[in-house]
Structure 1
Amino acid sequence: MSVSEQGPPPTARTPAEHLAARRALVARPGPPSPARRRELSDLTDAWIRELWHDAAPAPEGIALVAVGGYGRAALSPQSDLDLLLLHDGHRSDDEVARVAEALWYPVWDSGTRLDHSVRTPGEARKVAAGDLSVLLGLLDLRVVCGSGALGQRLRTAVFDDWRTSARSRLEELLETCRERWRRAGEVAFLLEPELKEGKGGLRDAVALRAVAASWVADRPHGDLDGAVERLLDVRDALHQSSGRALDRVLLQEQDAVATVLGLADADSVLRVVADSARTIAYAGDTTWRRVEQLLGSRRRAPLLLSRRPPRPRVLAPGLAEHEGEVVLGRDGLVDSDPVLPLRAAAVAAQAGLPLSPGTAERLAATSPPLPEPWPREARDALVALLGAGAGAVRVWEALDQAGIVDRFLPEWALVRNRPQRTPVHRWTVDRHSVETCVQAAALVRRVARPDLLLVAALLHDIGKGRRRGDHSREGAAMAAPIVARMGFSEPDQQVVVALVLHHLLLADTATRRDIDDPATAAKVADTLGSVEVLDLLSALTEADALAAGSAAWTDWRAGLVAELTRRTRAHLRGEPPPPVTPLTSEQRALADAGDLAVTVRPEGGGWSVTVVAPDRRGLMGVVAGVLALHRLSVRSATLRTEGGIAVDTWSVVPEFGDPPALEALRDDIDRALDRRLDVAAVLERREASRAPAQAPRTPAQIDVVHDASETATVLEVRAADRLGLLHRLGRALSFAGLDVLAARVATLGAEAVDVFYVVEDTGEPLTAERAREVARILKDVAS
């Protein structure tokens, strides 16, 4: 019997009426759901069947089958229709072509995107044998019209082919997945997640269904189906709000997607995406690991010889390694040992092995809760887990997927899957915290208390879950009861709380204050109080920045933090301040001769430009303007004056990727200093030629930082970054008759944070009234 003859008779609607009903459903408001996708698929089936009825092919030996997402009856509002016209080869080419034209042209005319083909079963199998994407689509084959028997024969044959060739084709499938992951990244941790191609995306779910269909590995643990449906809901909402067939949730689309889904905001959308993608990625990791183990064992063992299952290798009391995973041993007393989940995790991470998903689920279901305060063994196991380095990441993920983390650290729920909308961060808050532990594990030999460093690394951003004010202060308030619950002594608790409270202190101070000014180190020392805390904070600062990404820990930033730490340590020990790093003999000779020296060298994905010259008022603004003329975006800068010699070091990124032109830079700086080049006029013309801003700028914020220096007035400028901003600020300070003794310049995404140490021409700091006047001038210039 043909599919079109089964079930109730077709309605009297025409194809146009069916298409109109389908369009109405796509436009109908309301949240996406599996039922809505099924309804859209059913309406599409009805429309296609009417087209089939009008084409009037003979019922035997021909069928129209849906593949891919349409085959799974999971259509999104802007989905393609993937259709295969299948025939048995007994019809004439003209007859098959006539049926194809009667189907394809109305679909094209409707504006619906169509992926179509016409093949016999043998041709379809041959194409699938050479094209893995075709094969995966055919695994979801569903007959829409025509001969159900013909479609079923092809489906059976494709599954037989897949299972017969699974050993080689699964390796091919895994490699295509890895290539996608390299290209598209991890869905869970992207600010603009690619829902289909990335790791943890919809294509991974298709690949996992194919693995299960091969009978090589079992269906993954966990709520895989629910995670897939949630990702599909987000994609449907994206299609509805944008009216386009998008798979990447762009920043400008996220608020509208949240509205369609009934969520609070764009961050809520990203949390749904991250939670779903992590579930899919975790299922994929465990499944592919199992596939590789099975295929590897089959390669090693003769097919005609029976093999005894390997005996588990005991790793610790109650824990063993079995087939590359940590599992419970025969003597594992799950229901009476509250420390066992953490001990199992520590053993797995230290051994570089994954924790079996089944074991994690059993531990979550049967282990009793930890007593409060924790016993020493539980603290030691947590520290061992966090100190295992890279091996801790997948083990922590296993604990989190099984719900174990929430049992011993319920505050984790506040940061789980929370996005970070800053350009330097590459992970969500929770994953960043774990990655900080990975980096801290490599630094434990630098500190006296590795355990406190690792726990502080885990908790340093816990305050980001509350969204109230300063996350460092919020985090410190949250960390206090957590470390008390863990059973740390009161002095140890105070150290961890201080590390969480001040985890940004060294980086912020080093990049925004003059570290050659003795007041800077004195203030940091007074805040921290001891060398032990300083050393711990120095290691935490480095680990935090390395975990954030390469942009957060450049050689320049690392050098500044190291120098600030060195000076603060000397202050805490009562030693005289270390001498300022002297100029090189070459720099001093050039400057003494009155010459301008410019050097350029590569640095951390960008370039470092150093300018050495006799100091003069306005030098900073001139150099900043010339860099802007050369389309070099300033990411950071350190300006220093010693004995009348200015040494300005600029970290820049070329707008178009070309390295800075050394000779042209030097010539233009020289001409600008001699007033043969009007930098301001050229910048004004260039900015006028650019497209106007789409939204008004937020007014700049200018702060007079009190007690930051005893010898100068410190002005901190926060403003939207734009072409020539630093040049304008430098000119304004020069016109105000001020000398810039030192400066720290940083650009964080679209935000500029520039700090200037200024004095009057007499060398004295500004009076309070004068400082307020200059702050008003800078605000006008920067806004």
Structure 2
Amino acid sequence: MTSTDMRTEAEDSGPSGYAAARLRLLQEGARSGPPRRAALSDLTDDWLTGLFAAAADGVKGVSLIAVGGYGRGELSPRSDLDLLLLHDGDDARAVAALADRLWYPVWDLGLALDHSVRTPAEARAAAGDDLKVQLGLLDARHITGDLGLTAGLRTAVLADWRNQAPKRLPELQELCADRAARQGELQYLLEPDLKEARGGLRDATALRAVAASWLADAPREGLADARRRLLDVRDALHLATGRATDRLALQEQDQVAAELGLLDADTLLRQVYEAARTIAYASDVTWREVARVLRSRAVRPRLRAMLGGGKPATERSPLAEGVVEQDGEVVLARAARPERDPVLPLRAAAAAAQAGLPLSLHAVRRLATTVRPLPTPWPAEAREQLVTLLGSGTPTIEVWEALEAEGLITRLLPDWERVRCRPQRNAVHVWTVDRHLIETAVRASEFTRRVGRPDLLLVAALLHDIGKGWPGDHSVAGEIIAKDVAARIGFDRADVSVLATLVRHHLLLIETATRRDLEDPATVRSVADAVGSPSTLELLHALTEADALATGPAAWSSWRGSLVADLVKRVAAVLAGEEPAEPEPLAPTAEQERLAIEAFRTGGPVLALRAQTEPPADEEEPSGDPEPLGVELLIAVPDQPGVLPAAAGVLAAHRLTVRTAELRALELPDGFDGTSVLVLNWRVAAEYGSLPQAARLRSDLVRALDGSLDIAGRLAEREAAYPRRRGVVAPPARVTVAPAASRHATVIEVRAQDAPGLLFRIGRALEDAGVRVRSAHVSTLGANAVDAFYVTAPKGNPLPTDEAANVARKLEETLRG
């Protein structure tokens, strides 16, 4: 059925005909995108025109107007109908009756309706009081009725908008900024709001309003395509969910991608991010231009008076060769010749970042269209300018985005294309891959004073995740890419080798520190062998912290920092020629011995809680109160089976997060008949609220050990109430044996979805396997737990290879079940 046939059916059959024609239109996949939105608007116009004609018999001086998205002809499947019934005020009673005859058929079909009934004066007054009303009226479109009435209102509203632009545009900018603060940036969110987030459809509409003011205009290149792409995604989202929603939730992304004919949800998000980035950049440029115009209007009269009525000159302050500052932006000097100066883009970018100023749109576009490629390898100046840009701190971000918007970054670094706008489906990461790399460089710029080669640190920060655009281990792929990029930008062979090592091992320190026993010489020796030199270790330490800080708040803490610093200190000693000593059995502390004796005498568990603190690692002298690193929990229990799962279960039931755990059998001194007591040394933290009392923990532990407390049942209740995203299935648990990780124990590594009682389930499975847990190293990143367990046979020796593999397999089956 053609559009004409549908419209005829809608007109002839009333509401039911319109509903049927609307449904057929939405089911026509071949007419998606702008054609379907336009056809849906036309179909709705014709239906409303029919309603109006039937209801307005004899009523004069009335028109029906579409405003907002409907006024722009952008009806998505579940969009509201934004309608204004405009009248001249002569017969208010007849107009009210007409409104009822128009609105009720719309409601009867279940369509969302945003309606108003006003005279032109009332409409203008409402627009003057409410900026959102005025924005909607800027897109007013006549549907039916008195065309002259509609035209008069449109003319008056546009005139009001242009006359009031110096006052209203700052209000609009503030409105956009407040919305961005609430909703976040569309180009980085895993579950973005396509309309409200920064770079979304609301911002695109705001840019139309700025253009209508005649005060400034947005850069138009790519803007219409970006808006169309977001509207297409919203259409598919409405069809997939059957709801009027603008939030692209995780569980609906695959279906939306399929609706649009895209490969997968990642492809969908990448297209959304690219569109959002275009709109956000256009917004930045436009609001700067608005500010410049308003500033010049305020200053120009005073300057002209000072100059006797002459035209004021615009100051241009030199920043670098070929680069000047003009009116709060960085522009090219009049004598600059981009076609003869391939380093100019990097020089201009570095100068802008150093000055904390934006690059002008005109300058970036001129560079993008005229500059010739850099030779390979780059000249020294180009490399130095890149390092300067990366080391300029937070201003680097805005300058980098300006270069990227015009394609200059991928021309300088072709490998950047694979990480550009690439989403990271990990709740720990708050940025896309490319933005994370720039954020890491910004963080690394804070550490350049503590390393001998800040240039290598900054470039490593830029490249450390460059392999995420390739299949397989991104560190391995990144090492290969980093070698190529480093050689191309002019580093010598030795520096290329260091950069490759930093990229290959950028996760080594944090993973080792949080998942391995630092007392084990094999652990320290393996890190020293991978790093190779003290200078590389120094760089890797700084890169590790910068990477974690740029990832998100869950990726770094004082506790993690203290573990990494301890590991670095031990590795530095080995690299300086010291051999890591074999760990000797630690003599029990006085407190451990006291608790063990008390446990023997009472025949039950004894607990002690003690807060642990340490000054910040970068302060030689503590200032103020030390920062808490957690709470040390000591448990002494007469040797018996099931201690580890019982203790872990009780802690989980009391909402305590375990960070590290050690378990050892302590032989009591002479006079205690050679009795052995298990001593558990844990570092824990409360999920929220204050720590429970030790007496309550002990009471529950006693009951857990004697079987009167159903820990498994209590944790099952908690897990059932644990918040989950609808439709999101966590990847299955994975359990592996780390070969040669220790000479004294077998290291079993568990990667699983974090949940209440996970450590309890692991401990119970290891007890059932008949192995002893010597220590546990627990690490939680977002929703993912990565735990390492040092286990031995009952006699204290490492497990044979086959037995270790069997334990790992059974543990994995248990966790997956």
Q: TM-score, normalised by structure 2?
A: 0.88
Matched, 1:24 2:48: no
Q: Distance in 1 between the 2:751 and 2:405 partners?
A: 41
Name whichever of 434-443 and 582-591 sits farther off.
582-591
Alpha-carbon distance, 1:169 to partner: 2.0
Q: Against the structure 1 CA distance between its residues 684 and 273, is the aligned structure 2 distance closer, same or farther, given a 3 Å change threshold?
A: closer
Shift in Å, 1:298: 4.1
Q: Select 1:611's aligned residue among 633, 638, 645.
A: 633
Query: Per-residue deviation at 1:40?
Result: 1.1
Distance in 2 between residues matched to 1:641 and 1:300, nearest whole Å = 77
Alignment pair present for 1:678 and 2:694: no
1:524 matched to 2:527? The reply is: yes
Query: CA–CA distance in 2 between the matches of 1:284 and 1:641?
Result: 61
Shift in Å, 1:204: 0.7
Distance in 1 between the 2:301 and 2:398 partners? 33
- Aligned partner of 1:4 in structure 2 is none
Whether the 8 Å CA contact 1:19–1:47 is kept in 2: the answer is: no
Quote the residue 1:3 is aligned against. Answer: none
Q: Secondary structure at the match of 2:350?
A: helix
**Cα distance, 1:12–1:204 mapped onto 2, change above 3 Å:** closer
Q: What does the per-residue CA deviation read over 1:200-258, in whole Å, with 9 as the maximum and x for residues that have no partner?
A: 01111111111222222223353211111111111111112222111011111111111
Structure 1 residue corresponding to 2:682, chosen from 626, 648, 660: 648
Task: Find the residue that maps to 2:219 and give its secondary structure.
Answer: coil
Shift of 1:501: 1.0
Equivalent residue number for residue 770 of structure 1: 803
SS state at 1:74 partner: coil
Contact kept, 8 Å, 2:194 with 2:234, in 1: the verdict is yes
Task: Provide structure 2 residue ranges, at least 5 long, that are not aligned to the other structure.
Answer: 1-6, 600-605, 617-626, 667-677
CA contact (8 A) 1:386 1:454 kept: yes
Cα deviation 1:130-186 (Å, max 9, x = unaligned): 111111101111111111111121112212222222222222222221111111100
State the partner residue of 1:5. none
Offset of residue 302 of structure 1: 4.9
One-letter amino acid of the counterpart of residue 718, structure 1: R
Taking a change above 3 Å as real, the CA distance of residues 640 and 130 of structure 1, as seen in their structure-2 partners, is farther
Q: 1:559 aligns with which of 559, 562, 568?
A: 562
User: How far off its partner does 1:698 sit?
Assistant: 5.9
Q: SS of the counterpart of 1:186?
A: coil
Residues 550-587 of structure 1: CA distance to partner in whole angstroms, max 9, x if unpaired?
Answer: 10112221111111111111111113559999999878
Q: Distance in 2 between matches of 1:472 and 1:537?
A: 14
With over 3 angstroms needed to count, the CA separation of the structure-2 counterparts of 1:255 and 1:732, relative to structure 1, is: closer
Instruction: Choose 734-743 or 137-146, whichever is displaced more.
Output: 734-743
Query: 2:390 matched to 1:366?
Result: no
Counterpart residue identity of residue 571, structure 2: T
Distance of aligned partners of 1:548 and 1:687 in 2 relative to their CA distance in 1, 3 Å threshold: closer
Match of 1:501, as an amino acid? R
Partner of 1:598: 609
Letter in 2 for 1:746: S
Superposition pairs of residues 199-598 of structure 1, within 5 angstroms: 199-299=198-298, 302=301, 305=305, 308-466=312-470, 468-575=471-578, 577=580, 595-598=606-609
Q: 1:349 Cα deviation (Å)?
A: 0.7
What amino acid does structure 2 have at the position aligned with 1:630?
A: H
Contact 1:33 1:233 in 2 (8 A): yes
C-alpha distance in 1, partners of 2:729/2:587? 45
- Find out whether 1:627 has 2:658 as its counterpart: no
- Deviation per CA, 1:479-521: give whole Å up to 9, x if none: 2211111111111111111111111111111111111212111
| Cα distance in structure 2, aligned partners of 1:587 and 1:639 | 13
Pair 1:336–1:591, CA change in 2 (3 A):
farther
How far is 1:747 from its partner? 3.1
Residue 757 of structure 2: aligned partner: 724
Structure 1 vs Structure 2 CA RMSD:
3.0
Contact 2:440 2:547 in 1 (8 A): yes
Q: Mean alpha-carbon deviation: is it higher for 349-358 or for 477-486?
A: 477-486
Deviates more, 1:212-221 or 1:294-303: 294-303
Contact 2:475 2:503 in 1 (8 A): yes
Is the 8 Å Cα contact of residues 733 and 750 (structure 2) preserved in structure 1? yes
Tell me how far apart the structure 1 counterparts of residues 486 and 813 of structure 2 sit (CA, whole Å). 47
- String of CA shifts for 1:94-141, please: whole Å, max 9, x gaps: 200111011101111111110001001111111111111111101111
Structure 1 residue 743 corresponds to structure 2 residue 746: no
Which amino acid is the alignment partner of residue 233 of structure 2? V
Which residue of structure 2 lines up, in the alignment, with residue 779 of structure 1?
Answer: 812
CA distance in 2, matches of 1:18, 1:602: 70
Q: Structure 1 residues 323, 684: closer, same or farther in 2, change over 3 A?
A: closer
1:705 aligns with 738
The amino acid that maps onto 2:776 is A
CA distance in structure 1 between the aligned counterparts of 2:314 and 2:661, rounded to whole angstroms:
61
User: 1 CA distance for matches of 2:613 and 2:247?
Assistant: 33
Give structure 1 stretches of 5+ with no counterpart: 1-7
Identity of matched residues, %: 51
Q: Which amino acid aligns with 1:614?
A: A
The answer to whether the 8 A contact 2:322-2:333 is kept is yes
Distance verdict in 2 for CA 1:423–1:583, change over 3 Å: farther
Structure 1 residues 502 and 582, CA, compared in 2 at 3 Å: closer, same or farther?
Answer: farther
Residue identity in the other structure for 1:260 = E
CA gap of 1:510–1:291, structure 2 versus 1, over 3 A, is same
Q: What is the alpha-carbon distance in structure 1 between the residues aligned to residue 374 and residue 543 of structure 2? A: 28
* CA–CA distance in structure 1, aligned partners of residues 690 and 44 of structure 2: 55
Taking a change above 3 Å as real, the CA distance of residues 695 and 540 of structure 1, as seen in their structure-2 partners, is closer
Q: Residues 122-201 of structure 1 correspond to what in structure 2 (within 5 A)? A: 122-201=121-200
Q: Which letter does structure 2 place at the counterpart of 1:675?
A: D
**1:39 aligned to 2:39?**
yes
Secondary structure at the counterpart of residue 192 of structure 2: coil
How many Å separate the matches in 1 of 2:521 and 2:160? Answer: 75
For residues 495 and 214 of structure 1, the distance between their equivalents in structure 2, rounded to whole angstroms, comes to 55
Offset at 1:346?
Answer: 0.7
Q: Which residue of 1 aligns with 2:766?
A: 733
Is the CA contact (8 Å cut-off) linking 1:31 and 1:261 kept in structure 2?
no
Separation in structure 2 between the aligned mates of residue 593 and residue 531 of structure 1, nearest angstrom? 47
- Match of 2:187, SS state, is helix
Shift of 1:400: 0.5
| 2:620 alignment counterpart | none
| Contact 1:636–1:650 (Cα < 8 Å) also in 2 | yes
Is this contact kept in 1: 2:704–2:710, CA < 8 A?
no
State the AA in 2 paired with 1:84. L
Shift in Å at residue 687 of structure 1?
6.4
Tell me, yes or no, if the aligned pair for 2:646 and 2:701 is still in contact at 8 Å. no
User: In terms of mean alpha carbon deviation, does 319-328 or 721-730 score higher?
Assistant: 721-730
* 1:13 counterpart SS class: helix
Distance 1:322 1:48, change over 3 A: same
**CA distance in structure 2 between the aligned counterparts of 1:399 and 1:237, rounded to whole angstroms:** 32
CA contact (8 A) 2:328 2:357 kept: yes
Distance 2:664 2:477 in 1: 39
Partner letter of residue 449 of structure 2?
R
Deviation at 1:722, TM superposition (A): 3.7
Do the aligned partners of 1:606 and 1:651 also contact (CA within 8 Å) in 2? no
- For 1:536 and 1:504, how far apart are their aligned partners in 2? 13
